[in-house]
Chain A
Amino acid sequence: MADAEKPRTPLLDELEKGPWPSFVTEMKKAAAKKGSAADLLRQLERSYENKRGHWKHGGIVGVKGYGGGVIGRYSDSPEEFPNVAEFHTFRINQPSGWFYTTEALRKLCDVWEKYGSGLTNFHGATGDIILLGAPTANLQPCFDELSDAGFDLGGSGSALRTPSACCGPARCEFACFDTLDLCHELTMAFQDQLHRPMWPYKFKIKISGCGNDCVAAVGRADFSVIGTWRDTIQIDQEAVQEYAGAGMDIRAVCEGCPTKAITWDEQKRQLSVNADECVRCMHCINQMPKALRPGRERGAAILVGGKAPIVHSPLMSWVIVPFIKVEPPYTEIKELLLKIWEWWDENAKTRERLGELIIRKGMRNFLKAVGLKPVPQMVHHPRANPFYFWDPEEVDLPKQALPEEVTS
């Protein structure tokens, strides 16, 4: 490209300084090849001058057979930046755990070079591959070639969002179940929910193999699956000695235990865990992965309701199933999801996420609707007020016919 056409970006140039790799450099590389990337750079420079975004409010675009997956984006100054007058985004469903062959990545690059700006996000915060910026006319042919290359759209709008999972058993010794497979199987089972928005709002599924929660499931998924175990931590005493021999302060590790379940006998040089007290927080295992491992009876806890602040406040997910075995074909988990969606779809107002609906309707009603029995693992502590409900049947039934929970 001739020098005269090169975008002049004195403010953004400041962001090419410093040791961290620069997104401005990335944009310039793309701008050298594509008019749209060059106009994006010019428009961003304008944003840096006047401290505001220059994208119009929304716009509905798409490809045949889908209700989402492509996000419409139009510049608010198309005369000035004609090449980003239409600059739409593809959300592309990533492989579970974000593993790639270079062959697959190169195919993606080739298609995007042909039809788009050449700019991407690896990855969007939801987990998708984001292909950033194509004109409307290119959307269908671009999708067709992406599909030929083996890729499909992710979710957007009032639909299931692309589920995502930590690297799990592929690369992590802490994984309590196969996060990658569960993520893939749920994605495949719920293609319709992902691709054809039909709900009050979005719904996110995130899957972490242990309590370290590397995909932040508890903070941002309506349905969070987090690995755990039922029995006792496995200890390799020899490996403990090795850590101690190498200078690790084992007592300090034990002090970090929230329930003081793990203790170090300095004399015998023995580590022991009181299984009844352990809450499986992962702290000691993180510190001594060579010596400690989760127990053998492994599975996951299921939590629901997590979300960002819009509309009523941020929420973290709440435990509704403290332990479940996670094994293919994952029938129980799929059925639970379908029951949750049915209740949510029936009861929620527009833009009411599952967590907010549970607050409005009461956890009691939610648990009943999805058929889960109350257990103490669901709460930090019981209520302090006396304002609880009884079903009329519970109160009026003859004594001998009372349900077990009430009589015992």
Chain B
Amino acid sequence: MPRTDIGPPKYSEMLPPVIKKNYGRWKYHEIPRPGVLKHVSESGDVLYSIRVGSPRLLSIDFLREICDLADKYSGGYLRFTSRHNVEFLVSEEDNVESLLAELEQRGLPVGGTGNSISNIVHTQGWVHCHTPATDASGIVKVVMDDLYEHFTHMDLPAKLRIALACCINMCGAVHCSDIAIVGVHRKPPKIDHDLFPKVSEIPTVVASCPTGAIKPVPKLKSVEVNEERCMYCGNCYTMSAAMQIIDPKTDGVAIFVGGKVSNARSGPMFSRLAIPYLPNNPPRWPEVAEAVRNLVQVWAKHARKGERMGEWINRIGWERFFKLTGIPFTEKHIDDFNYAMPTFRTTVNFKW
């Protein structure tokens, strides 16, 4: 009989000796070069963390490869960051250079520290989810290729956190990122009235709609959608496979900007709509890559040192943001959902 409810492996069994010894006694850290953190303990002990970008979707060959590297250079210990990076926990300074050399030779990027872009937090997309409006891994790969230099160099005004969700469920903290790339549907669900009675309960589907757009049609043992009210959230599709929300011709990508979760200087902020729609153009989504590059470049050019994207926008104002980025402001940008009111301007202080 297998044991159930044993819980995760205890973290303390996974920690290298230098961490066990200095647990809670780290004094300060430095970033001697991009991708390398040097933590110094009150005891004088030193720990180097070498941060390596990964594609998140990993084969066990990759895992075994990094295990080999960890056995060779970091005493058999490593960790992952909350943004899908691998970190080798090296306690012997001599091993740092040799590990870096071997990582370079294997084509694994070292970076993501300080004022750089870290790895993109993302979701499953076409690889493994049933509601996506776009792919996840593909766009992430393209954007990281494009911004590669900003991962390996700390040359941005501040940290840059990009996240991607392939539908508006937004797995992960996509809605609080400097740049959030989000898959969006643009058409009401297509109802399969033959399938509906077999896979759905009318009351749950009706109740699932946040805008009250769904009405029962008892004659068909199905429902209908008031299309004017539908904002394509896909909630009803979650409830019923007969409410198909995916439409390859019109699905695509939206971009939100200016969010953050850290409290440093300014409090956490939501990302806000910059670009309502860009088409899905696999395999390399040129329009999305171009839009992200533009946002990063305009921010990098105009922000003060230390200013996150959202802090920069708050300082200059959204009207200036749209001007500087050349992104058209449309009716889509004016909120008309549940908590819209506080987003309307109530002062005559504005810029041109």
Contacts and interface: CB of A to CB of B under 8 A. Distances in A.
Interface in A68-120: 73, 87, 89, 93-106, 108-109, 112-113, 118-120
A51 B248 contact: yes
Contacts of A280: 263
A227 B98 CA distance: 36
Given A170-B19, A216-B176, A125 B121 contact: yes
Interface residues of A, number: 127
Contacts of B270: 314, 316
A332 interface: no
Nearest to B122: A125
A48 B285 CA distance: 11
B236 to A, nearest CB: 11
A54 interface: yes
A20 B109 contact: yes
B58 A121 contact: yes
B15 A252 contact: no
B145 A211 contact: no
A8 interface: no
A127 B19 CA distance: 22
Interface stretch (B26-34, B214-222, B321-329): B26-34
B14 A173 contact: no
A18 B170 CA distance: 27
B173 A219 contact: yes
Interface in B96-112: 107-109
A122 B59 contact: no
A204 to B, nearest CB: 11
Contact of A173 (B39, B56, B80): B39
B32 to A, nearest CB: 13
A216 B83 CA distance: 10
A171 B339 CA distance: 40
- Give the one of A21, A132, A172, A187 with max B CB within 10 A: A21
Contacts of B80: 98, 100, 122-123
Nearest to B80: A98
A118 B280 CA distance: 29
B76 A53 contact: no
B11 to A, nearest CB: 4
B57 A119 contact: yes
A36 interface: no
Interface residues of B, number: 115
B11 A99 contact: yes
B5 A216 contact: no
Interface stretch (A22-30, A321-329, A340-348, A365-373): A22-30
Nearest to A133: B128
A20 B141 contact: yes
B299 to A, nearest CB: 17
Contact of A184 (B11, B29, B54, B283): B11
B274 interface: no
B232 interface: no
Nearest to B147: A20
A29 B306 contact: no
Contacts of A300: none
B113 interface: no
A152 B8 contact: yes
Interface of B: 2-15, 19, 23-24, 26-30, 39, 47, 49, 53-64, 67, 70-71, 76-82, 84, 86, 89, 107-109, 121-123, 125-132, 135, 137-138, 141-142, 144-145, 148, 151, 165, 168-176, 199, 204, 207-208, 210, 233, 235, 237, 241, 246, 248-249, 251, 259, 261-268, 270, 280, 282-284, 305-306, 337-339
Given A109-B67, A147-B4, A192-B5, 4 more contacts: A30-B61, A143-B2, A211-B264, A258-B265
15 contacts: A23-B127, A23-B137, A27-B59, A52-B246, A57-B199, A64-B4, A73-B128, A120-B60, A143-B2, A167-B79, A167-B81, A282-B264, A310-B169, A313-B337, A316-B176
Interface of A: 11-12, 14-15, 17-27, 29-30, 37, 40, 44, 47-48, 50-58, 64-66, 73, 87, 89, 93-106, 108-109, 112-113, 118-123, 125-127, 132-133, 143-144, 147-148, 150-152, 162, 164, 166-167, 169-173, 175, 178, 180-181, 183-184, 187-188, 191-192, 195, 211-220, 226, 239, 252, 256-258, 280-283, 286, 289-290, 308-314, 316, 349-351
Sorted nearest first, the 6 A-B pairs with minimum C-beta distance are A18-B145, A211-B263, A216-B173, A125-B172, A219-B176, A57-B241
